[in-house]
Chains A and B, each alone.
Chain A
Amino acid sequence: MRLSRRGLLHAGLAGTAATALGGLTSGCAVPYGSSGRNMVLWYWSGGLSDTVVKKATARYGSAVDLKPIQIGGYYRSKLITTMTGRSHVPDIAGLKGEDMASYLPNAGQFVDLRTLGAEKLKGQYLDWKWQQGIAEDGSMVGFPIDCGPVVHYYQAAVYEKAGLAYEPDDVSREMDTWEKFFAAGEQLKKRVPGAFLLVDASAVFENSVGQSTKRYVDKDRNFIGDEEHIRTAWDRAVEAKRRGLVSSIVNGTPDFNAATEKGLLPTQLGASWAAGDLKLGLPKTKGQWRVAAMPGGAANNGGSFLSITKACREPEQAFEIIGWILNADNQAQGFVDAGLFPSTPASYEMKKLREPDPFFGDQITMDVFGPAAEKIPVSFNSPFDVALGQPIKDEIKNVGVLGKDPRKAWSDAMSKCRRIAKHLGVTY
């Protein structure tokens, strides 16, 4: 068809009208949940068990039209853009654990779950995890999904070859402190040529910080990254480097995978969800791994929450759905489906979580994960932790990788923190 001039003009007009209309509708749209019938749930791929979400849709289908949407890409920025735009805000929103500290100061944008009777369920969840979802004014923003207890993954055959303890119970007992762990690393290095205990110094630093009850900034906006707990973690990482226990390999690269498959990086300190990464990234090592307790005590890494936004018109209904999705049974399902470690201790005893895992040489990994999860220390996460922790993490990386002088690195980190703290209004 030949397009006439008139036809072209008309097409242009139609386009304009459509644009103008589009602008209007998005400008004064009503929130999704306003009809009361619709209930939109936002989460990310792997954030909830798909089986459970599907069951929830069917279960509550007569009362509401539950629309679960998996949001791809940079989840947090999409959620806050939508919330700031005040339209199409989801009724129920997943909140990632690492972002939690930045949501809590804006508790006003979420429904206080205490008003919906959350307190009654408190006893069923890990206490430290429950506390992390509570804002400074006491209102409850996030309902616990999963958590990430950090454990000591190792390749049993390599440990045996190095003359170290290699049964999970023995490893947990004989490498229960960082000092004993490092000594084992030295022996490993001597007996297995080319092997390193850890991939980088950051692995020591970050997990050590995780074992503390404090992080970088306290509740009153004071910088505490120069205090004893961070200094200890720093010195420990420097010591690992000095004793030659860390490799020069970049974590997560093909190099890393190759070295791990060859048994030259037989150890990993990682959260429960790292088991999934091992299975996915290193399928050839199936059966070689075991799980033991982390040296120096439990730590947490990751784990998320569900929240109800202020846009939700049926908070009671939403809360009922959340409570059901995250009950002990369904959390166990989440672990089986997506490796989400339950925040409900009752799940740990369930049969389906006590299956021997062939990837870990038929070990019942729950025996290690479960107790670790219950012992995790409560630490305060400040919204400024990311900005003020980064310079220290960057410098420990420079020490580990570039061999920078640790004293210079520390003073560089501190002067950078001082500058950033001043800019952010944090007392140094």
Chain B
Amino acid sequence: MATVPALEKPPVVVVEAPVEAPKKGILSYWRLYAAISPFYLLFLAFGLIPVGFSLYVSFHRWDGLGSMEWAGLSQYQYLLSDSDFWGSVGNTIVIWALATFPMIFLALVTAVMLNSAVRFKNLYRFAYFLPNVTSVVAVAIIFGSVFSTNFGLVNALLQAVGLDQVAWLNTPWGIKVSIATLMTWQWTGYNAIIFLAGLQTIPSDLYEAARMDGAGPVQTFFRITLPLMRPVLLFVLVVSTVTGLQSFSEPQILLQTTANESTFSGGPDHAGRTMVLYFFQQTFDNNDFGYGAAVAWGIFLVVVLFSIINWRLVQRRREE
């Protein structure tokens, strides 16, 4: 890297006459502020105000149409004792864990493979990225038939090797595994591309030096690649936490049954009811907008908690 020339110190000038006061302070930059303001105005109108309103609604009883009725903290009190809400938090975390750890592993392997010399590199990168830009709804519909009990692909494979059928979409663990598999499939390629970008920032002379010292590929991976990839790994973990905690369409479409039934109940024993799905059910199925808003803030707090945990992990690593 080229070295940056040190800045020359400005010569000290002694000013005798009083300097003209700066024109109007902040106001003199009004054009610049105006130029960047559209985003902030839009954010205020469509982001911040609705967020504030949802906080306001969470202190009320409201069916969405009629008048609001002050409810104080009662929605939050109910939230704390609501086993359904906590169940949905548990489901979300379990599904997230089932999806994320295999996903990170697969993505890392894929990235390392892509990073080594292969032909048609760009084609592979494109192919791995493709699942991520496919509509979740379409993917979930396909996965619905892949996991169906009697005529699904997964069970056909199981039977081909002499195993029993599994009622994937009809048993609590089957549901969780199916949703997690869908999410893994969708995100592996995306994260592989990010890992690949990270791999390419590692200077190749490090590898050369390692090879000269007689390190094998496994040693190189654990001693050089992995430590230098830590920031990228953490980024991937944070992003997958954010997306994983918001999972909604996957279980909704995968467990969708008939028009009569609620599509937000998450299948037998609510096994696939994630936090956001529960929020949706309370708000739009039950028309309980006040409680729905409280659930949304509950979700917010769970996400904050997870962010703090992530952040602490980063901090500790830095101190090491």
Interface residues of A (CB under 8 A from B): 8-9, 11-13, 15-16, 18-20, 23, 74, 76-77, 80, 83-84, 102-103, 105-106, 109, 202, 206, 248-255, 258-259, 301, 383, 386-387, 390, 393-394, 397-398, 401-402, 416, 419, 423-425
Contact = CB atoms under 8 A, between A and B. Distances in A.
Contacts of A423: 78, 291
Contacts of A248: 149, 167, 170
Of listed A13, A74, A80, A423, residue having the most chain B CB within 10 A:
A423
A393 B287 contact: no
A206 B260 contact: yes
B38 A16 contact: yes
A50 to B, nearest CB: 21
B287 A383 contact: yes
B69 to A, nearest CB: 10
A256 B277 CA distance: 25
Contact of B31 (A9, A19, A393, A416): A9
Q: Which of B64, B65, B82, B281 has the most CB of A within 10 A?
A: B65
B120 interface: no
Interface residues of B, number: 48
Contact of A393 (B38, B65, B261, B269): B261
A393 B261 CA distance: 9
Contacts of A259: 150
Closest 10 CB pairs of A and B: A12-B35, A15-B38, A387-B286, A255-B148, A106-B65, A254-B145, A401-B268, A80-B64, A106-B66, A258-B151
B70 interface: no
B150 A255 contact: yes
B268 A105 contact: no
B12 interface: no
Among A16, A18, A250, which residue has the most Cβ atoms of chain B within 10 A?
A: A250
Contacts of A398: 268-269
A8 B31 CA distance: 10
B45 interface: yes
B191 interface: no
26 contacts: A9-B31, A12-B35, A13-B31, A13-B34, A16-B37, A16-B41, A74-B284, A80-B65, A84-B64, A84-B65, A102-B64, A202-B261, A250-B169, A250-B170, A253-B257, A254-B144, A255-B149, A255-B150, A258-B150, A386-B286, A387-B286, A393-B262, A394-B265, A398-B268, A416-B84, A423-B78
B129 to A, nearest CB: 28
Nearest to A402: B268
Contacts of B150: 249, 255, 258-259
A8 B66 contact: no
A253 B148 contact: yes
Contact of B287 (A250, A253, A386, A397): A386
Contacts of B265: 390, 394
Contact of A401 (B36, B170, B284): B170
B270 interface: yes
A249 B149 contact: yes
A401 B262 CA distance: 16
B208 interface: no
B65 A254 contact: no
A106 B145 CA distance: 42
Nearest to B36: A12
B258 interface: yes
B247 to A, nearest CB: 19
A105 B38 contact: no
B132 interface: no
B285 A390 contact: yes
Interface string B120-155: 000000000000000000000000110011111000
B4 interface: no
Nearest to A271: B260
Interface in B59-95: 61, 63-66, 78, 81-82, 84
A20 B45 CA distance: 10
B32 interface: yes
A308 to B, nearest CB: 15
Nearest to A254: B145
B273 to A, nearest CB: 10
A262 to B, nearest CB: 10
Contacts of B286: 386-387, 390
B256 interface: yes
